[in-house]
């Protein structure tokens, strides 16, 4: 499963890119607003840091303007993935951009039916929002399972399932078990996945015992 960082913070990307864990980036208007930075500059910087897809979301709601914005965003860098909402206008835009060879991430997916429509419209990625479904008492991860199963029935569909709105490490593990192609993960969840008390305790013991030997490797 590929890991995309869900962030608009360049420093997070610089820190984690060195681990080899970062396969791409997703952003959204909320993350950009929190960063306080210029949207297009953030996208350009991330595209230089990460060779994989970098999702940049359109702001318009109508097809004509979405298409103009999407084409403009795609000019920033070859690895920009234009992000559009799962609406009729969004799917129209997805179809045109996909036919032009531009990757499209269809976002705000909350049903398997919506996911099927996005795939038919040529989406490179479909983004089901796991955490937001959990918030209203639904099982978000079940949706990931349903979409993965549905897509597997039709090998000609090339859309990748991108588990979004990841809230905690268990979501990542469950998405991998369900067969999601990608999980877009906030940096804090990456660090939560990394940490385990037994790792820390074991390392402390090794350091203490090594000091007793009085040796040095270099």
Which residues are known to be catalytic? 83
Phi, psi (degrees; rounded to nearest 5) at 4: -105, 135
Extract the tokens encoding 162: 């991108």
Separation in Å, CA 78 to CA 48, 54, 74, 170: 10, 10, 7, 33
Q: How many CB atoms lie within 10 A of CB 64?
A: 11
Question: Tokens 């994989």 label which residue?
Answer: 52
d(CA 172, CA 156): 26
Extract the tokens encoding 81: 């993935």
What percentage of the chain's residues is helix, strand, coil (to nearest 5)?
A: 50, 15, 30
Specify which residues 163 forms β-bridges with. Answer: 183
d(CA 127, CA 44): 22
């Amino acid at each position: 499963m590929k890991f995309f960082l869900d962030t608009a913070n360049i420093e997070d990307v610089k820190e984690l890119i060195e681990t080899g864990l970062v396969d791409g980036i997703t952003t959204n208007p909320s993350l950009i607003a929190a960063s306080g930075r210029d949207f297009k500059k953030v996208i350009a910087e991330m595209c230089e840091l990460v060779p994989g897809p970098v999702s940049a979301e359109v702001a318009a709601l109508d097809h004509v303007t979405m298409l103009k914005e999407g084409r403009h965003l795609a000019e920033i860098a070859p690895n920009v993935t234009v992000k559009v909402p799962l609406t009729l206008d969004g799917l129209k835009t997805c179809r045109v951009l996909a036919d032009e060879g531009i990757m499209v991430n269809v976002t705000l997916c909350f049903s398997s039916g919506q996911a099927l429509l996005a795939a038919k419209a040529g989406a490179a990625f479909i983004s089901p929002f796991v955490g937001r479904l959990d918030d209203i008492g639904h099982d978000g991860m079940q949706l990931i399972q349903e979409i993965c199963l549905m897509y597997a029935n039709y090998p000609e569909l090339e859309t990748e399932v991108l588990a979004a709105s990841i809230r905690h490490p268990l979501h990542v593990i469950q998405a991998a078990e369900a067969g999601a192609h990608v999980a877009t993960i906030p940096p804090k969840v990456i660090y939560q996945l990394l940490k385990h008390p037994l790792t820390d305790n074991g390392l402390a013991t090794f350091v203490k015992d090594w000091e007793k030997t009085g040796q040095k490797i270099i």
